Amino acid sequence: MSITAARFGSAPVMLDWSGTQPLTAEISAARRTELNDHWNRCLKKLHERVSGFYEAVQTPELSQLQESVTLAKAFLARPEIEHCVFIGIGGSSLGPMCLIDSLKQRAKTKIQFHFFENPDPIDWNYRIKKLDPKHTLVCVVTKSGTTYETLSIFMLAYDWLKRGVGLIEAAKQTIAITDPEKGELLEFARKYNIATLKIAPSVGGRYSVFTPVGLFAGALAGLDMEKFLAGGKKARDYCEKATADKNNFLSWAYALSSLGQSNPIHVMMPYTTPLRLLANWWVQLWAESLGKDGKGYTAIPSLGAIDQHSMLQLLRDGPNDKVIWFVNVLDFGIKANVPSVNFKVKSFDLLEGQELGQILDTEFRSIQRVMTNQRRPHLQLQLDSITEESIGAIFFILSVLTAYMGEVLKVNPFDQPGVEEGKVYIRDTLIKRKEQNQAGGSNDDNNAVHRLRLHRG
């Protein structure tokens, strides 16, 4: 019987792909050779820094670890700073959001993070009024320096700071993480003497958690970002040593590509609340990287055991067009035992003395068995525990898989032409609206009257 589960070398992550197809048949020699050729081409591109994330875990000039930690310590040395308004969107926010949320139980500083992503007036006004500019650091992240959603919120935040603490102090309570050589945000930061950290040009936004985008936020929370990078480095070491006959990525890619036509919808379901946002980060990585040329997969975030009471019925008995990516944790590192409340009925009595982590694991194993019984494709990623090292490893493993699947599907996993097209239309519309506002007009293609006219026409 073939092996259907293995660890990624010394990285604290295990993959079990036994549920992806009946009995998980052996890969044919020809198909394994083809997949290995794709793997070697992928590694060659990663070594050449087509995407710099692969080298960032071991290259200081790319990670900017020391610069990120030093600047974080400088802000932490200011006792008045208690909050961080973190402004970004997509890869500029999902990585640090997941990092902070997954490891919040290990945070060692008092900093409270407030992630602002959407240019939504209700969200902005509701949340910002709860903060005091005297106690708030503003961190803005955009690699291009021209992301409209991010810049619009930043302009509001910087004006809020300036009105609260004055122009000089506002600059001292702001940090910009952006391209090191160009971009309008960089120009602004230089003009007002705002501290900056650089995102290496070779690292795309959705892979940027291994740069100051993730490292500064983690350091500001008091997390050990050296261990975070070390987790990624252990996964990288596995990639360098994996052979054609013993490579988890080949087995993984084989299963997913084999199911690609029949099961194009992928659902990631972590069975622990701290990893809820891992699924959200993965959705962008998987969808934006591979959704091209009529190819790719529909990525859906979920959470166990909560979504057993919403998604499970569909996953079990709905269309058999999905692959469920279970993510579980072997050791939660903390326990909470259900006490006796002196009410001797069946459910209360059954739960008395049980430990919450064991209950959650029982839920996971049971639902995994349901999917197996129903022959619904699924795979399992298991973290030894939730630590800086394991989070760094899982981020890296999923990034490498994405780069590799780009080779398998013959698409570029590092660009986003659809997103760029949208940016062009947004810019053109904003220019038109600006001109109309300056002329005192109100002719808006998106207003209700105009849409009604189009409908009537």
Report which of 221, 178, 195, 185 is spatially closest to residue 91, judged by C-alpha positions.
Answer: 178
Residue 298, H or E segment: strand 298-301
Active site residue 423: yes
Q: Rounded CA gap, 39 and 404, in Å?
A: 6
The SS3 assignment for 233 reads helix
Q: How many CB atoms lie within 10 A of CB 419?
A: 11
Q: Rounded CA gap, 130 and 399, in Å?
A: 36
- Sequence-separated (6 or more) residues with CB below 8 Å from residue 51: 45, 202, 203, 204, 207, 403, 413, 414
- Give the C-alpha distances (Å, rounded to integers) separating 375 from 1, 22, 322, 372: 19, 7, 11, 5
Q: Name the active-site residue from 309, 344, 346, 455.
A: 309
Count Cβ atoms within 10 A of the Cβ of residue 128 and give its class: 0-12 exposed, 13-18 middle, 19 or more buried. Answer: middle
Active site residue 309: yes
Angle between helices 212-220 and 225-241 (to 10 degrees): 140
Active site residue 110: no
- Sequence-separated (6 or more) residues with CB below 8 Å from residue 131: 83, 85, 114
Q: Rounded CA gap, 51 and 199, in Å?
A: 12
Q: Rounded CA gap, 59 and 54, in Å?
A: 9
- The answer to whether the CB of 117 falls within 8 A of the CB of 130 is no
Residue 326, H or E segment: strand 322-329
Q: Rounded CA gap, 12 and 389, in Å?
A: 8
Residue with tokens 């120009």: 187
- The answer to whether the CB of 383 falls within 8 A of the CB of 13 is yes
DSSP-assigned letters across all residues of 78-118:
-TT--EEEEE--GGGTHHHHHHHHHTGGG--S-PEEEEE-S
Count Cβ atoms within 10 A of the Cβ of residue 7 and give its class: 0-12 exposed, 13-18 middle, 19 or more buried. Answer: middle
Q: What six digits make up the tokens of 51? A: 């995407």
- The residues assigned a catalytic role are 288, 309, 423
